[in-house]
């Protein structure tokens, strides 16, 4: 019954509406930013928070810059009529100052014909921008550390305005609403700021500038920001934009809608590009209305029939799985994934995740490559699949493996990820030099930094803490530039920041498990820190967490700590580097690994402190010469020899032995 009502409502709505779109006009609205919306693209260090806010910079690293853009270039110039569009954009943002003794660079709204980001403030090489500047830089003749500037291809503003005169402190951390209007007839840019609605009468900045002389090709629109060190956090909360090629006598529609906490009619993150030709004749508008009504009717009927057909074909399994669960970027067709992996042929296997096998997939139609993870067809596999999907779908960070989509058909549970051409860290780290490129010292430092950065994000910057629980070299993938991407969230757990960890079944990989987690089954961010420490030692030493030497099992942590006790920890460096590294930097890295792998969880640093140490923003931690020991009340064995039975074979061709204690 509800479908019938919806059908007649759509017919009535389509027949009664006037067609008022203008050729090449563009409008879109993001009341919040969600992962399944492809109309925006994150660049650089920008990341998507679980509360629907885009964070442009990561304040935990030495310097950071990021951007978010509307995915598609927007035409502002119409060659046949030689007219330029007017536009209006409204957005809400916040700049939080973390260190009162220093300032970041602020953020900017920009238009640019390219995406070659090489200018200050994280801007493209060519741009027109309105900057919200929070730094006094004499090189650019800045008036103060709290101003709005209009910039063209350079950071020296053509004109500036003072938001303090309007009661606005840019780096107060409060949510600020900004309105930027461009009137093509008057060639006038105006900027308004307020903490709340309605739109103010007086602009903070007003500039005469003819954009038609600067932009003839379509432009990208978006926001960029940068910060040196732990100084500022820049966030975009919501964003609407509209452009129109309007005659001189026609005013741009008023743009005074709320963008804070409201959802547009078209839904969160809606976007539309209008390409209909405006008709001045009422009868032609009515004719178009009838045409639209007919199209809508056909679409609705087709959708109903398609829905019934799919339900019958799939038995409702995929839909039931999706309902009330999570909105992912794309639901792939099973036949498409089967074809792309050559029917999951063994030759396409590139690795194994916590819940199944990973295949390399070639999509002939698009010419792209992806990684497809296939479950083990078990209840356990499905549980871990659900865990991975629910967590990774809500995260966005440059050092996370990006999820493309999913598929639940034919009894299969499948995830589709970006393909990482350099494979996993363990395969790259332990390959022989004659079999390919050896990881250089700079590669290894970059891996330690990138992994630390994403763990800071998971532990402290998400709405809910994410405890990964299975950080290991095999779950760290390397992109084409050897940048690390953390993947495999099959064992991850979400926690509120104010909640204590709960006891669970211990799961993970031997050699990476923290003693207290192995003993009590309580996963915390400190157990992730322990695993990170093991990875850091692997990266520096080129040795596996557990190796057999003759008849003895050697633990990497104990081996490095023994070298530290003798005052020669640098001798633990990977011999294949041939000494091509800074000795003090190697010492710092290995001691940092030991401090993270301290048996006493209370003595381990937070991941934010780790990142500060790596970036020389905090002094290294003291590491005792003798490895601390812990006493547990339980009789559960903690030594490698006790855990491994005498009859169990340990293969040195594998990077680790995976165990689960039930």
Fill in the DSSP letter of residue 252. P
From the list 231, 331, 105, the residue with the least C-alpha distance to 617 is 231
Q: Which residues are annotated as a binding site for ATP?
A: 373
Q: Radius of gyration over alpha carbons of the chain, in Å?
A: 28
Using DSSP bridges, classify how beta strands 147-152 and 270-274 pair: parallel, antiparallel or unpaired: unpaired
SS3 assignment for 34-99 = CCCCCCEEEEECCEECCCCCEECCCCCCCEEEEEEEECCCECCEECCCCEECEEEEEEEEEEEECC
Specify which residues 407 forms β-bridges with: 414
Asked if 66 contacts 44 with a C-beta cutoff of 8 angstroms, the reply is: yes
CA dist., res. 334 & res. 310, Å (int): 13
Asked if 365 contacts 332 with a C-beta cutoff of 8 angstroms, the reply is: no
Q: Which residues are annotated as a binding site?
A: 373
Query: What Å distances lie between residue 383 and 322, 354, 527, CA to CA?
Result: 14, 11, 22
Q: What is the dihedral of CA 409, 415, 420, 424, to 10 degrees?
A: -110
Asked if 385 contacts 490 with a C-beta cutoff of 8 angstroms, the reply is: yes
DSSP element (H, E) containing 641? helix 640-643
Query: What Å distances lie between residue 79 and 189, 276, 503, CA to CA?
Result: 22, 17, 66
- Is 470 an annotated catalytic residue? yes
CA dist., res. 556 & res. 544, Å (int): 7
Backbone φ and ψ for 113, nearest 5 degrees, come out as -80, -10
Of 181, 418, 443, 470, which is the active-site residue? 470
Enumerate residues 6+ apart whose C-beta is below 8 A from 10.
Answer: 296, 297, 300
CA angle 350, 353, 359 (to 5 degrees): 30
CA angle 91, 92, 96 (to 5 degrees): 140
CB atoms within 10 A of CB 517: 25
Counting every residue written for the chain, the total comes to: 662
Give one DSSP letter per residue of 413-443, joined into a string. Answer: EEEEEE--TT-BHHHHHSS-GGGSPPPPHHH
Which positions are annotated as active-site residues?
Answer: 470
């Amino acid at each position: 019954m509800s479908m019938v009502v919806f059908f007649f409502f759509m017919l009535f709505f389509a027949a009664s509406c006037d067609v008022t779109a203008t050729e090449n006009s563009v409008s879109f609205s993001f009341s919040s930013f969600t992962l399944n919306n492809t109309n925006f693209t994150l660049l650089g260090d920008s990341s998507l928070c679980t509360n629907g806010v885009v964070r442009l910079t990561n304040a935990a690293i030495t310097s950071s810059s990021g951007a978010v853009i509307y995915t598609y270039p927007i035409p502002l110039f119409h060659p046949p009529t030689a007219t330029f569009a007017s536009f209006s954009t409204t957005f809400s943002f916040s700049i939080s100052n973390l260190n009162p003794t220093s300032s970041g660079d602020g953020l900017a709204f920009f238009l640019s014909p390219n995406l070659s980001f090489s200018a200050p403030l994280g801007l493209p090489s060519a741009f027109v921008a309105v900057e919200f500047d929070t730094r006094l830089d004499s090189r650019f003749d800045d008036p103060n550390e709290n101003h709005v500037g209009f910039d063209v291809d350079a950071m020296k503003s053509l004109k500036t305005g003072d938001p303090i005169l309007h009661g606005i402190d840019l780096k107060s951390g409060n949510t600020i609403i900004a309105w930027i209007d461009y009137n093509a007839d008057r060639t006038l840019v105006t900027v308004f700021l307020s903490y709340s609605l309605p739109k103010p009468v007086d602009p903070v900045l007003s500039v005469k500038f003819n954009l038609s002389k600067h932009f003839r090709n379509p432009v990208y629109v978006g926001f960029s920001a940068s910060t040196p060190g732990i100084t500022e956090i820049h966030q975009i909360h919501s964003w609407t934009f509209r452009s129109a090629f309007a005659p001189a006598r026609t005013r741009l529609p008023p743009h005074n809608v709320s963008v804070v906490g409201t959802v547009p009619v078209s839904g969160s993150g809606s976007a539309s590009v209008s390409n209909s030709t405006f008709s001045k004749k009422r009868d032609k508008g009515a004719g178009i209305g009838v045409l639209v009504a007919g199209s809508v009717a056909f679409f609705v009927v087709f959708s109903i029939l398609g829905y019934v057909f799919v339900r019958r074909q799939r038995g409702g399994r995929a839909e039931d799985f999706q309902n009330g669960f999570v909105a992912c970027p794309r639901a792939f067709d099973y036949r498409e994934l089967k074809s792309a992996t050559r029917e999951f042929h063994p030759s396409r296997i590139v690795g194994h995740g916590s819940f199944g096998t990973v295949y390399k997939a070639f999509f002939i139609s698009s010419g792209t490559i992806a990684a497809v993870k296939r479950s083990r067809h078990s209840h356990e596999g499905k549980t871990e699949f659900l865990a991975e999907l629910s967590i990774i779908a809500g995260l966005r960070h440059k050092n996370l493996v990006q999820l493309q989509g999913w598929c639940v058909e034919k009894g299969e549970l499948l995830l589709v990820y970006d393909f990482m051409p350099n494979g996993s860290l363990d395969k790259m780290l332990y390959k022989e030099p004659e079999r390919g490129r050896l990881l250089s010292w700079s590669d290894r430092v970059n891996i330690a930094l990138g992994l630390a950065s994403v763990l800071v994000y998971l532990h402290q910057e998400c709405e809910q803490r994410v405890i990964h629980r299975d950080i290991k070299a095999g779950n760290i993938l390397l992109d084409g530039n050897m940048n690390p991407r953390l993947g495999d969230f099959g064992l991850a757990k979400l926690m509120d920041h104010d909640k204590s960890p709960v006891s669970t079944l211990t799961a993970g990989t031997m050699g990476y498990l923290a003693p207290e987690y192995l003993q009590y089954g309580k996963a915390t961010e400190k157990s992730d820190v322990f695993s990170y420490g093991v990875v850091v030692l692997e990266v520096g030493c080129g040795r596996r967490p557990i190796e057999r030497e003759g008849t003895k099992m050697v633990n990497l942590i104990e081996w490095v700590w023994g070298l530290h006790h003798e005052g020669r920890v640098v001798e633990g460096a990977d011999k294949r580097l041939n000494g091509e590294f800074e000795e003090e930097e190697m010492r710092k890295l290995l001691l940092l690994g030991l401090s993270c792998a301290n048996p006493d969880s209370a003595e381990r640093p937070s991941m934010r402190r780790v990142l500060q140490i790596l970036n020389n923003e905090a002094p290294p931690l003291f590491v005792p010469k003798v490895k601390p020991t812990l006493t547990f009340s339980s009789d559960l064995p903690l030594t490698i020899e006790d855990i491994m039975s005498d009859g169990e074979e340990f293969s040195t061709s594998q990077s680790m032995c995976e165990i689960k204690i039930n």
